Amino acid sequence: MNSLTAPRSIRKPLLHSAAWLLLAITLWLFAAMASAQAQTQAPARAAMPALFLEDTSPKALVPTVEAFREAVRAAGWSILDVTNMAGILSERGFTLHPVLVFDACSARYSADLLSRDETRFVASMIPCRVAIYQTSTGKVVISRMNSVAMAGMVGGHAGTVIRKSGEEMEQIIQATLKKLGS
């Protein structure tokens, strides 16, 4: 008998055991890779800041809008325009709950960013947009982009100005909510 060949009675069980061992190792490797991938992805998701911020108003839509307008003026900002998205879309045959989008502007921050060629690229983010909308359950929400988080992604002088502007807008939102009794 050749030392490299085993008798037929031993070969079949050996091959069967080797196949099961290979399957077990393959499954273990897939499980280990999936676990490693989940562990490396989980922290990235947890560290990602919210891109949008929302606060619920304790009052109805009209008092919330009035309080927001007052807080904007008190902070030295301006409301350049208000877009009534529900109104615009109703003219096109859609029925929505109220959605108002405010273009709020700080002349100081806008002029700082728009007066420099190297920071003018953020013009598409100016003015700050704040939406006040009503849900199907009647809840009123103040929604906006998380400018402070966005500032970190932009960096440089533009990021610094966006962060300061975002922090001021958060103060305006908090003043609005405080005026409403929240």
Peptide bond into 127 cis (omega under 30): yes
Token pair listed for 65? 């809008």
Fold assignment, 52-179: TATA-Binding Protein (3.30.310)
Contact 142, 54 (CB under 8 A): yes
pLDDT tens digits, one per residue of 98-128: 999 999 999 999 999 999 999 999 999 999 9
Give me the residue label for tokens 């009794």. 181
Q: Each residue of 74-93: pLDDT tens digit? A: 999 999 999 999 999 999 99
Residues ≥6 apart with Cβ < 8 Å to 151: 159, 160, 162, 163, 166
- Listed by start position, the domains of the chain span 1-48, 52-179
Q: What is the pLDDT of residue 49?
A: 74
